[in-house]
Amino acid sequence: MEPTVRAADPVAAQVVAMTHRQSHALVVFAALAGGLILSINMGVRQSLGLYLEPMVVANSWSRADFAMGLAVQNLVWGVFTPFAGALADRFGSLKVLVVGAVLFSVGLVVMALAVTPLGYIGGVGALIGLGTGATGFPLVLAVVGRIVSDRRRSLALGMVAAGGSVGQFLLPPFIVWVMDGNDWAGSLYAIAAVSVAMIPAALILVRPDVDAPHTSINRPIDLSLGAALNEASRAPGFWLLNAGFFVCGFHVAFIATHFPAYLSFCGLQPSVGAWALSVIGLFNIGGTLLAGWLGGRFVKKGLLAGIYALRSVAIIVFINLPVTETSVLMFAAAFGMLWLSTVPLTSGLVAHLFGPRYVATLFGIVMMSHQVGAFFGSWIGGYLFDLMGDYGGSWNIAIALGIVAALIHLPIRERALAAA
């Protein structure tokens, strides 16, 4: 229990007030810096579907070739994420974030220069995949989660995750604008230059006194990494979270990769796809903030079950309506509210169950499952289109997976295993 300050001691009261103000300022700066990193990370990778048609036409590739590159990116990102978290826990987050930002930017340049599917996969798949894993949600949210108290953690994580959606709102129209004035390769060089801004943001985000020694982390039991992994592996809820996040990855990757192309297939202009992704990013800000706020007041597993169920409902309604600009933007707004609202709830639940000490590693494992789902969401969309000539089968798979994800979250026992 923290000592109380008597009113008769004005000097001590002033010191406490100053400490609180500094703490609030620290949280604000961390949220802004972390939000900028995630904004670039999310905004770029979730806008890459805009390059499907121009790159396929320019290089005479199939849609499956393009989709395979993003599928490999998602898989590399997912597999590397737990290792990035472990490296950050071992050597500090700053080094991992800076190296990740460099790989991310170089990968975009390689993507622009690629003339063969293999070179394209090396850039968009390997380099951007590694860079995304090193600058993504698990690492950034872990740093912020160590700074913020338990009471405010869910809301703070929601704020940072929502800040990441700003990039998804701003970048698609920017990419289309650059494409119109230049070409698709020039737009890749432009967003590669923008991605370098992740480096100064990392310098602002990471505090050595919090990140390196981890001495300020309030952990009920000081577990080693091996003990924490063993603890998580024996908890059924941890594996249910992995399964649910697999579905989240499938949904997000399928829509980010193929939604603009699906709208063009339905006869709409390419700009409609860009604005749809932008609207998803805009409404994701509100949805993620709302999820973070609700996660501090209600049972997280119930909120997650509701989000996945509503995703399936939104898809069912959309594919049974005529595809018009109005229906597209309405679907984008609805799905945007559900887009990454799973992130603060899932990461918050991992931190609640196992403590924040190794949340970068543990949530990194959950994120790996997310990215395995993203691999299939990206690849299956292109494969089934080449096989069947439309996206109907992929939409039906997305609906079924949403229902399954809603059901498997219900048995999770939401109690702090580490504290027990």
Task: Pick the more confident residue, 136 or 401.
Answer: 401
Q: What is the mean pLDDT of residues 312-326?
A: 95
**Would you place residue 90 in the very low, low, confident or very high pLDDT band (cuts 50, 70, 90)?**
confident
Looking at the domain assignment, is residue 358 inside a domain? yes
**Would you place residue 168 in the very low, low, confident or very high pLDDT band (cuts 50, 70, 90)?**
confident
pLDDT tens-digit series, residues 355-414: 767 776 788 788 888 889 988 998 998 889 988 888 999 999 999 999 999 999 999 887
The confidence score (pLDDT) of residue 218 equals 41
164: pLDDT strictly greater than 80: no
303: pLDDT strictly greater than 70: yes
At 267, list the tokens: 């006869």
Domain containing 133 equals 28-214+225-408
4: pLDDT strictly greater than 90: no
The confidence score (pLDDT) of residue 230 equals 81
Looking at the domain assignment, is residue 232 inside a domain? yes
Q: What is the mean pLDDT of residues 14-30?
A: 55
Q: Between the CA of residue 175 and those of 102, 137, 420, what are the distances in Å?
A: 21, 23, 50
The confidence score (pLDDT) of residue 42 equals 86
Half-sphere exposure of 175 (CA within 13 A, CB side): 31
At 68, list the tokens: 């395979």
Looking at the domain assignment, is residue 11 inside a domain? no
Give me the CATH number covering residue 249.
1.20.1250.20
Contact 145, 217 (CB under 8 A): no
Contact 230, 236 (CB under 8 A): no
Which of 125-139, 256-270, 320-334 tops mean pLDDT?
Answer: 320-334
Looking at the domain assignment, is residue 331 inside a domain? yes
Task: Pick the more confident residue, 245 or 360.
Answer: 245
Percent pLDDT > 90 in the chain is: 36
What whole-number distance in Å separates Cα of residue 376 and Cα of residue 191?
A: 26
Task: Report the run of H or E that residue 291 belongs to, with start and end.
Answer: helix 270-295
What whole-number distance in Å separates Cα of residue 44 and Cα of residue 135?
A: 12
Write b or e for each residue in 2-13: b if 16 or more Cβ atoms lie within 10 A of its Cβ, otherwise e.
Answer: eeeeeeeeeeee
The confidence score (pLDDT) of residue 152 equals 66
Which residue, chain included where needed, has tokens 């008769």? 8
292: pLDDT strictly greater than 50: yes
Looking at the domain assignment, is residue 413 inside a domain? no
pTM (predicted TM-score): 0.75
307: pLDDT strictly greater than 80: yes
Looking at the domain assignment, is residue 49 inside a domain? yes
In total, the chain counts a number of residues equal to: 420
Angle between the 236-265 and 300-319 helix axes, to the nearest 10 degrees?
Answer: 20
Burial class (CB in 10 A: 0-12, 13-18, 19+), 109: middle
Looking at the domain assignment, is residue 252 inside a domain? yes
**Would you place residue 418 in the very low, low, confident or very high pLDDT band (cuts 50, 70, 90)?**
very low
DSSP 49: G
Looking at the domain assignment, is residue 382 inside a domain? yes
- The number of folded domains in the chain is 1
Write b or e for each residue in 372-388: b if 16 or more Cβ atoms lie within 10 A of its Cβ, otherwise e.
Answer: bbbbbbbbbbbbbbeee
CA-wise closest residue to 278 among 117, 169, 408, 201 = 169
What is the rounded average pLDDT for all residues in the chain?
Answer: 83
Q: What is the mean pLDDT of residues 295-309?
A: 90
Q: What is the mean pLDDT of residues 270-285?
A: 88
149: pLDDT strictly greater than 70: no
196: pLDDT strictly greater than 50: yes
72: pLDDT strictly greater than 50: yes
DSSP 3: P
The residues, any chain, with a CB within 8 Å of residue 359's CB and separated by 6 or more, are 138, 141, 142, 145, 347, 350, 351
Task: Pick the more confident residue, 347 or 403.
Answer: 403
Phi and psi of 120, rounded to 5°?
Answer: -60, -45
The confidence score (pLDDT) of residue 150 equals 64
